[in-house]
């Protein structure tokens, strides 16, 4: 068991850290305040290979391992959780799903530009009545012979307005239950496909979250991923990997909050000495550091198991559950350590506290993760 990072891992970590500090940190408060999508920054992320990190180079990706990915995700999320979730969806859900299950033609046509960062993608599973319950799809994809006719609504879709490629989970045959669900590649601009208004959110305001509307959208049969009825299995498999991405985002929020609090505690003077020298603050920082380190170990363990080809349903759920709870706890403590300044935008921690909450919700709520974990306890 080796806990040391390789030289390549350290280089990737440093590259992501440099990008976050030089490209994401300037303007991050303004983007949050005005819900501005970081278009220029995302373009540069693509140029640096951060949007297709684990994709085979023959499809335009960087060909890196999952550990490299979570290291980069943590550094990005430490500064801008909105940019991190854009990166996570493109890598963990869209690119990963296409590369693992797509046909060669689908990989060449769709995966390559996504991995290169020339375009970004969206994963469309959640609906008004089918969030965590993925079997209750109301969006339909009726088999019309050479194409599917898609009708329905998708909610809370990250990259909903800026994506060009959408992986849409829809019900083809309700009588078959979860075995009647398919996943289709929908392109922006297809007749009948409409992007709804942007959501106004508590956190991750820089990412664009939209409702998507499908009204008799004609999707060619060749845009189906996998065999007929494979959609539910596709979604569950892809989400297992997606949880590692969200866990690393949560870890980044926690680590970023801790670092800001530690720096502030060494600079802020109260009662004649830096507040770090007061035991109440020092102990709080110690707990924050322990929680964040423990979360990192869980995230890295899940990433290593993914690279080894092991079943990551259990380890991914544990990493996502714990890291997301730590993110909220540590960000809250960071605000407390900052005192009144913690409530002010310029100190960043109030934004990080708002951003942390969503990590407990998307890719399956904390309650869903506990269900997954508990099912893995009995063999």
| Of 68, 203, 55, 224, nearest in space to 143 by CA | 224
Question: Cα separation of 319 and 184, whole Å?
Answer: 29
Question: Cα separation of 176 and 275, whole Å?
Answer: 62
Question: Cα separation of 71 and 87, whole Å?
Answer: 13
Instruction: Tell me how many degrees the CA angle 374-251-199 measures, rounded to the nearest 5.
Output: 90
DSSP secondary structure code for residue 20 in this structure: I
The residue assigned the tokens 């960043």 is 348
Q: For residues 235-258, b (16+ Cβ closer than 10 Å) or e, as one string?
A: bebbbbbbbbbbbbbbbbbbbbbb
Which of 23, 74, 127, 363 does the annotation list as catalytic? 363
The residue assigned the tokens 């879709």 is 157
**Dihedral, CA of residue 334, residue 338, residue 344 and residue 349, to nearest 10:** -20
Does residue 363 have an active-site annotation?
yes
Q: Using DSSP, how many helices (H) and how many strands (E) does the chain show?
A: 13, 9
190, 218 contact by CB (below 8 A): yes
The helix (run of H) or strand (run of E) holding residue 115 is helix 112-116
Active site residues per annotation: 363
């Amino acid at each position: 068991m080796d806990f040391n990072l390789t030289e390549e891992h350290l280089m990737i970590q440093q590259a992501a850290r440099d990008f976050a500090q030089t490209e994401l940190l300037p303007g991050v408060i303004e983007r949050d305040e005005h819900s501005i999508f970081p278009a220029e920054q995302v373009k540069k992320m693509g140029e640096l290979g951060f949007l297709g990190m684990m994709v085979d180079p023959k499809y335009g990706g960087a060909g890196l391992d999952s550990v490299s990915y979570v290291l980069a995700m943590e550094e990005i999320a430490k500064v801008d959780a909105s940019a991190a979730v854009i990166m996570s969806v493109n890598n963990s859900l869209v690119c990963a799903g296409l590369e693992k299950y797509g046909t060669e033609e689908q990989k060449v046509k769709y995966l390559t530009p996504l991995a290169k960062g020339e375009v970004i993608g969206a994963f469309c599973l959640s609906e008004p009545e089918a969030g965590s319950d993925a079997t209750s799809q109301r969006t339909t994809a009726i088999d019309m012979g050479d194409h599917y006719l898609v009708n329905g609504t998708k909610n809370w879709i990250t990259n909903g307005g800026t994506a060009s490629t959408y992986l849409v989970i829809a019900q083809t045959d309700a009588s078959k239950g979860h075995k009647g669900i398919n996943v289709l590649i929908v392109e922006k601009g297809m007749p009948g496909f409409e992007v709804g208004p942007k959501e106004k959110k508590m956190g991750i305001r820089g990412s664009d979250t939209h409702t998507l509307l499908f009204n008799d959208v004609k999707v060619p049969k060749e845009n189906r991923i996998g065999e007929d009825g494979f959609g539910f299995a596709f979604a569950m498999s892809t989400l297992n990997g997606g949880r590692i991405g969200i866990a690393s985002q949560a870890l980044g929020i926690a680590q970023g909050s801790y670092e800001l609090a530690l720096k502030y505690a060494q600079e802020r003077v109260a009662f004649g000495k830096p507040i770090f020298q007061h035991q109440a603050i020092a102990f709080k920082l110690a707990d924050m550091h322990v929680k964040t380190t423990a979360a990192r170990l869980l995230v890295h363990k899940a990433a290593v198991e993914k690279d080894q080809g092991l079943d990551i349903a259990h380890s991914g759920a544990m990493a996502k559950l714990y890291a997301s709870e730590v993110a909220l706890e540590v960000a809250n403590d960071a605000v407390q350590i900052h005192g009144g300044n913690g409530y002010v935008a310029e100190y960043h921690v109030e934004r990080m506290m708002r951003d942390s909450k969503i990590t407990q919700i998307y890719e399956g709520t904390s309650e869903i993760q506990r269900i997954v974990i508990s099912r893995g306890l009995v063999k």
